[in-house]
């Protein structure tokens, strides 16, 4: 039974009083207070719907895991002496990008720690990021850029002395180059000896070679960057699925779910925000790598080419929430701890 409270509740002569309340079907009240009742209903409706919307937003804003590590960001400053070799001048990415800029877009999602990946070919740019990390506690790890070759071991020894330095990234093309096989194998063994990891990036063609390297150096943790370059989720590269299966068979390989929105063929920043669009990629990676070897990475600010950070995070947030709380904990931080062995900054 539905009731409204009015001044008439205290009117002992009102025959519609029932237990100190006025029944809304009382003719007297129906005629005199109906406009008030409708007004209150509208106000209550607005209050209720607003509260529901706010509650929905707060629930959505709750982080999917107790901790989230973004394992793929790039920081650089074109205004520094000597400039930067990447990104190129004229690119939308050609601007100063520092941890504070990343935190501005990541922290609203509860993300305050990152592993930085160096894209510059300059050896001393590795030191620039390490110097930055000394001041920025949000940086829990750094993947440097050191090409395999005669000077690799010396440079590696130098940078590995810093606990923030967690490994290096190579182009997958090195693994495909027959002339570089000796230096690639030597470099991979040196990384394993230091307890470091190897990030790899390139087209799907290098993935079988990555599988072989992982088998040849089983103590080396190998992280495939950017989905193994799947291509647009709705038009995957033909060799991608088989090559992903091949590399995933090696237990010391991990897949970084990064550069997801950049795979889409679209205008700058216009990649779909609907998680279902990306299922052909996400489902295959889940099938091949399972819950223990998939890792979160945004590829920010390069990810802006596809979509905002909000969209980047929203897609994987929704997908991995669907896999359950334990899968979220693993994907958003525990797997990256196993792969990178990043440091606690306090």
**In this structure, is residue 136 part of a structural domain?**
yes
CATH number at residue 323: 3.20.20.140
Whether residue 203 lies inside any domain: the answer is yes
pLDDT (tens, 9 = 90+) of the chain, 346 residues, equals 333 333 333 333 333 333 333 344 444 434 443 443 434 445 444 443 343 333 334 335 689 999 999 999 999 999 999 899 999 999 999 999 999 999 999 999 999 999 999 999 999 999 999 999 999 999 999 999 999 999 999 999 999 999 999 999 999 999 999 999 999 999 999 999 999 999 999 999 999 999 999 999 999 999 999 999 999 999 999 999 999 999 999 999 999 999 999 999 999 999 999 999 999 999 999 999 999 999 999 999 999 999 999 999 999 999 999 999 999 999 999 999 999 999 999 7
Domain closes at, from 45, 60, 75? 60
Tell me the C-alpha distance between 313 and 266, whole Å.
Answer: 19
- Give yes or no: residues 16 and 80 share one domain: no
Task: State how far the Cα of 188 lies from the Cα of 183, in Å rounded to an integer.
Answer: 8
Domain boundary among 31, 60, 89: 60
Backbone angles phi and psi of 94, in degrees to 5: -80, 85
Question: What total number of domains does the chain contain?
Answer: 2
- Among residues 16, 44, 60, the one where a domain terminates is 60
Q: Is 279 exposed, middle or buried (0-12, 13-18, 19+ CB in 10 A)?
A: middle
| Residue 93 burial (CB count, 10 A) | 16
Parent domain of 222? 63-340
**From CA 147, how far away is CA 36, in angstroms rounded?**
77
State the DSSP string of 20-89. TEEETT-HHHHHHSHHHHHHHHHHHHHHHHHHHHHHHHHHHHS-SSS--EEEEE--B-TTSTT--SSSPT
Residue 43: count of CB within 10 angstroms of its CB: 10
Q: Judge whether 15 lies within some domain.
A: yes
Strand order in the sheet with 3-4: 3-4, 21-23, 17-18
Containing 160, the helix (H) or strand (E) segment is helix 152-160
| 158 and 183 both lie in a single domain | yes
Same domain, 304 and 329: yes
In this structure, are residues 225 and 256 in contact, taking their beta carbons and an 8 Å threshold?
A: yes
The β-bridge partners of 197 are 167, 221
């Amino acid at each position: 039974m539905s009731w409204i409270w009015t001044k008439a509740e205290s009117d002992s002569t009102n025959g519609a009083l029932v237990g100190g309340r006025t029944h809304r079907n009382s003719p007297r009240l129906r005629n005199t207070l109906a406009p008030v009742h409708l007004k209150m209903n509208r106000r209550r409706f607005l209050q209720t719907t607003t509260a529901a919307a706010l509650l929905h937003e707060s629930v959505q804003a709750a982080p999917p895991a107790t901790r989230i590590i973004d394992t793929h960001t790039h920081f650089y400053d074109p205004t520094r002496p000597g400039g930067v070799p990447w990104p190129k001048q004229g690119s939308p990415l050609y601007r100063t990008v520092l941890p504070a800029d990343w935190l501005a877009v990541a922290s609203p999602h509860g993300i305050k720690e990152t592993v930085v990946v160096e894209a510059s070919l300059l050896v001393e740019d590795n030191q620039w990021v390490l110097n930055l990390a000394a001041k920025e506690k949000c940086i829990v790890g750094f993947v440097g850029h050191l090409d395999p070759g005669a000077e690799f071991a010396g440079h590696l020894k130098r940078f590995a002395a810093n606990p923030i330095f967690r490994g290096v990234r190579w182009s997958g093309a090195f693994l495909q180059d027959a002339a570089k096989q000796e230096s690639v194998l030597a470099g991979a063994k040196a990384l394993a000896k230091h307890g470091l990891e190897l990030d790899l990036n390139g087209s799907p063609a290098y993935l079988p070679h990555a599988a072989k390297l992982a088998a040849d150096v089983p103590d080396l943790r190998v992280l495939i960057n950017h989905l193994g370059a799947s291509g647009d989720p709705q038009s995957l590269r033909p060799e991608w699925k088989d090559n992903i299966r091949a590399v995933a068979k090696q237990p010391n390989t991990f897949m970084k779910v990064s550069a997801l929105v950049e795979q889409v063929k679209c205008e700058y920043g216009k990649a779909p925000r609907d998680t279902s669009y990306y299922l052909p990629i996400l489902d295959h990676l889940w099938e091949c790598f399972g819950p223990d070897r998939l890792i979160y990475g945004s590829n920010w600010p390069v990810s802006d080419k596809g979509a905002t950070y909000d969209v980047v995070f929203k897609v994987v947030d929704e997908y991995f929430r669907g896999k359950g709380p334990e899968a979220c904990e693993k994907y958003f931080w525990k797997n990256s701890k196993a792969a990178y062995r990043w440091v606690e900054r306090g």
